[in-house]
Chain A
Amino acid sequence: MDTVQLIIDNKPIVVKKGITILEAAASAGIHIPTLCHMKLEDLNIENKPGGCRICVVEVKGRRNLAPACCTEVADGMEINSHSIRVINARQTVLELILSDHPADCLICAKSGKCDLQDLAHNMGIREIHYKGEQSTYREDTSPAIIRDVDKCIMCRRCEMMCNEVQTVGVLSAINRGFTAVVAPAFEMNLDHSVCTYCGQCVAVCPTGALTEVDQTSHVIKALSDPTKTVVVQTAPAVRAALGEMFGMEPGTLVTGKLVAALRRLGFDYVFDTDFAADLTIMEEGTELLNRLTRFLNGDKDVNLPILTSCCPAWVKFFEHQFPQLKDIPSTARSPQQMFGSIAKSYFAEKMKISREDLVVVSIMPCVAKKYECGRDEFKVNGNPDVDYAITTRELAGLITLANINFNRLPDEEFDLPLGESSGAGVIFGTTGGVIEAAVRTAYELHTKKPLPRIDFTELRGMDGIRQATIDFGGFPLNIGIAHGLGNARRLLEKIESGESEFHAIEIMSCPGGCIGGGGQPYHHGDVEVLKKRQKAIYREDSMKKIRKSHENPYIIQLYEEYLGKPMSEKAHHLLHTAYFDRT
């Protein structure tokens, strides 16, 4: 391996050739501050416009300062990362950025989690010497995402996410000079655009320019209404990340504390979206088997591969971008919506609560879920199956608001019947999890034989597009997995061109799957955070007594008491949906 020798802050180091000063410094334990730069190594995601100029350093012999994030190391380089010239430049540039930024930190949604705020703190900015006109733009509120563009610092992370990673193409830098900013075409509102609400722009925004629509006040109101019964469901990825909001190590599982906190917040029933995930597997798995059986019987019109449909951003994505494929995805609703539907029918009937008096709140790692629960097809007489979807971050806010010391909570159990779940339901939270869960059930239903092994490690990982072939009792089942909508697009194009043949494909919009969702605690560009959450999910699965959805006794009971069998007429009515061409 080629190496170069250089000196940074008087410290001689040897590093790999071709890396940047920023990376070289980090390897020597020197943390050069950055703002626009972001690199998620294992996901192949990098934002390196070299625009903010915060990371500038002095390189001996160079006329001007060098941005550490873009400058490659060279042999014999002498770098000073904190000379007075560097510090003065860095502070001045930061002051300039702050001079065009609203000074409402105290009441900003991003306060305390804001990269810009941290930087101002770390750089010791106490005064802005260059005050002047601030750019102002109209605020844009959509069902899921708020754009407060006055706070945009042109780091371009959202633009990179929206275009290169997700290939959705809603955001672009517009105008130039002082008026340059990132916005949708014609500065239209997001809800008029093809935005999928995947929320990856929110996940990477270093400031408060992009945030989720905060619905905590609605939840508080419902909780304090004595006429309402309020049930809550929590998605699998939430338990693997919520702890981070309270200072815990990423990857700490907080399922028990989460349940306890929700109970203390006053929810009448604390249920688990994992239960609905098991239900999804029953429906989707059956659908897969049906299509597969028809295919094996020589039916040429059967729609294969089947595509998963749990992810609302993915659904909106193909409705806009691949409407010709709208009959291919599974018609199964997402776990959130299955849960809402069952809660407001089966459970409400069971508890003799009228639909209108039952409020269903979901805790999601996702901002698109806010949009999903507002879709008309998920309402009965205008009453939504799921009333409010709040993010992991919003839940942390609620817990803090309610003076709950999260770290000292005991571990508690979910309520029954909608709180029981299998390990298969848990792994829905990560890329590869839905399809693994489906395989666990479909294999046994198809072959009528018990699984020789439960862990399908060949389906796991972080690669953007993965594929594996599972021996389905003699039939080789080709499985594809994509996470990130750009990868999904590439996979779909392969299918359309006939280049690849799959029988089943899992797609999740967010890099890493729901663990990396737009509603999760901010990862601040640290991919390790996502990897630790993923590990936690698989750990939770392995600890479960029941690992397969069809073995969940309450699922079995639900079918026996209420739905009949998977894909029954009732199941169809309550658990399936249709898709629309949105072009």
Chain B
Amino acid sequence: MTDYKIHVLICGGTGCKSADSDELKKSLKQWIDEVGLEDDVQVVLTGCFGFCEKGPIVKVLPDNTFYVSVTPSDAEEIVKEHLLKGRVVQRLLYRDPNTHQQISDSKGMDFYKKQMRIALRNCGFINPENIQEYISRDGYMALGKCLTELTPEDTIQEIKDSGLRGRGGGGFPTGLKWEITRKSEADQKYVVCNADEGDPGAFMDRSILEGDPHSVIEAMSICGYCIGASKGLVYIRAEYPLAIERLKIALDQAREYGLLGEDILGTGFDFDIDIRLGAGAFVCGEETALIHSMEGKRGEPTFKPPFPSVSGFLGKPTNVNNVETFANIPVIINKGASWFNKIGTENSKGTKVFALAGKINNVGLIEVPMGTTLREVIYDIGGGIKDGKEFKSVQTGGPSGGCLTKNFLDTPIDYDNLLKAGSMMGSGGMIVMDEDDCMVAIARFYLEFILEESCGKCSPCRIGNKRLFEILDKITSGKGEEKDIERLILLSNVIKDTSLCGLGQTSPNPVLSTILNFRDEYLAHVNEKKCPSGQCKSLLKYEIIEDLCTGCTLCFRNCPVGAITGERRQPHYIDQSLCIKCGVCYEKCKFNAIKLT
């Protein structure tokens, strides 16, 4: 086995892959061969580093140099300068958006300083397609410990003591869930990993499966041991081809090593895992819907109870946890519940992974201890708001969550605090919005999403959300009335109160929270017919400032609908009834004579 002196880690997460990290890897290898360093340098495609904003990321070890936005054409320089001569390529270093300082070592980056990586411990560190690298990081040791030293009851107790709660949204205590499933008697039980991450703008689970698939496999096996199941299923979105591929490789390797299959580690424990593909239905994140989908049916939820832990897949007791929850398990077993439950807040232990996105400098995947404040996440880790704009709101919990204002920036993040603030933890999407975002339009955006994703089974969700959307649409197109706001609230509350599943029970949250926190914006839309952020097209008005118009006729000639009239060398005029607000006149005018109101 060669011991390489230098390891070059390239991010192979979907974000970076989309930005050509495969090609980059090829180039780097080529140049390394060219200069004869192939015995000294190992190039590894790893899982996501989290710093997606500046992908592709290349990390050179052992000196921890962190290159951002690397293109294949940069490979030559990295190899010839850095690897050969030890000279850091300055121009590829990350530049702090606030201080404009270049930072060479990733540990020096604010982005990483406040993070604590438990679920993401191996992401961006090991080659996910190599089981040996996982094993070298204590991989499968937790499973070994459980199988040889702990009874299923002991293991469940450990998970219960750790205080781990489900990371998929609801925050149900994981140990308790396992215990209930263990106590349900049946000839066959199932362990299901929910990897149907559907929140738009969330990619935590995908990154874990891409970067550290074995941690999920190991945890599912532990769960199987605890509840008495010999069969596991991973329900994964078909839209995640890379994660599926990596998971398949990992499953094959685990089988090859005897870590899946019959008589694991000679203990008589049998366990194996199958993959089931989702097919593009957000509602299948709900566990009963997910189970129906795995059974080849329409992914419609059913009323609980019975809970899957009693009657789930094929009517058998089924334990469903999401990817991030599972990823925490081996660490808890290895390091102990008492280590884990020291992290976090009173009722929310451990860390949480967030997909940070939107109008923020450092878009990416982060993991912080529970109790970290939103401000730390947005300003310290996220690097603040893009282009120096003002923070307006942060949306957590995806379409089920709410939009929080700057008043909540110092709220420590945990399950209860977010709920109290009118949002929720959800699976971990965190979208930051700035002054340019219209909160009514955001609410409308989420409702539109819900509208497409509602399964249609229960009336309040099927029809109620449609009506909510229609009212919001009316408001954003300037036809709203003040009483519409009250109707939104009334209807939202009924939908929450009567819907069949979690999707409908939370779908009005974006509406309610934006009304609660940004009522002024709603009022501006309905009363003044104005969109303060200038986002709602129908409420925009293009007008010609007479004093500045030279009558050059450029706008007149470019208007696609003939809404502009005027004589040459005379001020022109826009007929508002014809204007479609395309903005062409605004772009074309050379004299800044067109104003937007």
Residues of chain A whose beta carbon lies under 8 Å from any beta carbon of chain B? 49-53, 56, 64-65, 67, 70-72, 85, 88-89, 92-93, 96-97, 99-100, 129-130, 132-133, 153-154, 173, 175-180
Contacts and interface: CB of A to CB of B under 8 A. Distances in A.
Interface in B449-464: 451-460, 462-464
Contacts of A71: 303
Contacts of B454: 176-178
Contacts of A132: 466-467, 470
A97 B464 CA distance: 9
A100 B463 contact: yes
Contacts of A51: 457-459, 500
Contacts of B463: 96-97, 99-100, 178
A302 B281 CA distance: 54
A72 B494 contact: no
A50 B458 contact: yes
Contacts of A92: 460, 464, 490-491, 494, 498
B453 A133 contact: no
A72 B306 CA distance: 10
Interface of B: 281, 283, 298, 300, 302-303, 305, 451-460, 462-467, 470-471, 487, 490-491, 494, 496-500, 505
A236 to B, nearest CB: 40
Given A64-B498, A85-B497, 8 more contacts: A51-B457, A56-B497, A70-B303, A92-B460, A130-B471, A153-B459, A173-B457, A176-B455
B459 A129 contact: no
Contacts of A50: 302-303, 458, 500
Given A53-B498, A56-B498, A178 B451 contact: yes
A290 to B, nearest CB: 47
Contact of A177 (B462, B467, B487, B494): B462
A159 to B, nearest CB: 11
A89 B458 CA distance: 14
A130 to B, nearest CB: 4
Contacts of B305: 72
B457 A93 contact: no
Contact of A175 (B451, B456, B460, B497): B456
A376 B457 CA distance: 41
Nearest to B455: A176
Nearest to B305: A72
A176 B498 CA distance: 19
B451 A53 contact: no
A56 B305 CA distance: 16
Given A92-B491, A130-B467, A132-B466, A53 B500 contact: yes
B467 A93 contact: no
Given A85-B497, A130-B491, A173 B456 contact: yes
A468 to B, nearest CB: 33
Chain B CB within 10 A, most for which of A49, A50, A64, A176: A176
Among A99, A129, A130, the one with the most B-chain Cβ atoms within 10 Å of its Cβ is: A130
B281 A176 contact: yes
**What secondary structure prevails in chain B residues at the interface with A?**
helix
5 contacts: A51-B459, A51-B500, A97-B463, A173-B456, A177-B455
Contacts of B467: 96, 99, 130, 132
Given A51-B457, A154-B457, A177-B453, A89 B498 contact: yes
A180 B457 contact: yes
A176 B279 CA distance: 13
B497 A89 contact: yes
Contact of B462 (A67, A70, A129, A154): A154
A67 B505 CA distance: 13
B494 A93 contact: yes
Contact of A89 (B455, B457, B466, B494): B494
B459 A93 contact: yes
B458 A64 contact: no
Given A99-B467, A176-B281, A64 B497 contact: yes
B462 A178 contact: yes
Contacts of A154: 456-457, 459, 462
Most buried by A among B455, B460, B463, B496: B463
A70 B459 CA distance: 16
A85 B455 CA distance: 25
A178 B460 CA distance: 10
A153 B456 CA distance: 10
Contacts of A153: 459
A88 B466 CA distance: 19
B286 to A, nearest CB: 13
Contacts of A179: 456
A153 B459 CA distance: 8
A177 B459 contact: no
A383 to B, nearest CB: 46
Given A130-B491, A133-B466, A176 B500 contact: no
Contacts of A178: 451, 454, 456, 462-463, 465-466
A260 B303 CA distance: 51
A96 B456 contact: no
A459 B463 CA distance: 48
Contacts of A96: 459-460, 463-464, 467
Contacts of A129: 487
A100 B459 CA distance: 10
B34 to A, nearest CB: 55
B496 A64 contact: yes
B408 to A, nearest CB: 22
- For the complex of A and B, the 5 pairs showing the least CB-CB separation, nearest first, are A180-B456, A177-B454, A96-B463, A70-B303, A130-B467
A177 B451 contact: yes
A96 to B, nearest CB: 4
A130 B495 CA distance: 13
Contacts of B462: 154, 177-178, 180
A93 B456 contact: no
A177 B452 contact: yes
B315 to A, nearest CB: 15
Nearest to B501: A50
Contacts of B458: 50-53
Contacts of A53: 458-460, 498-500
A88 B494 contact: yes
Contacts of A130: 464, 467, 471, 487, 491
A65 B494 CA distance: 9
A45 B467 CA distance: 34
Contacts of B459: 51-53, 93, 96-97, 153-154
A136 to B, nearest CB: 14
Contacts of A72: 305
A99 B463 CA distance: 8
Contacts of A180: 455-457, 462
Contacts of B466: 100, 132-133, 177-178
Contacts of B456: 154, 173, 175-180
Contacts of A70: 303
Contacts of B470: 132-133
A457 B464 CA distance: 53
Contacts of A177: 451-456, 462, 466
Nearest to B473: A132
A154 B300 CA distance: 13
Contacts of A99: 463, 467
A132 B454 CA distance: 17
A178 B468 CA distance: 12
Contacts of B500: 50-51, 53, 67
A38 to B, nearest CB: 16
A185 to B, nearest CB: 14
Contacts of B460: 53, 92-93, 96
A65 B496 CA distance: 9
A71 B500 CA distance: 12
A92 B491 CA distance: 8
Contacts of A85: 497
A31 B399 CA distance: 37
A494 to B, nearest CB: 23
Nearest to B464: A96
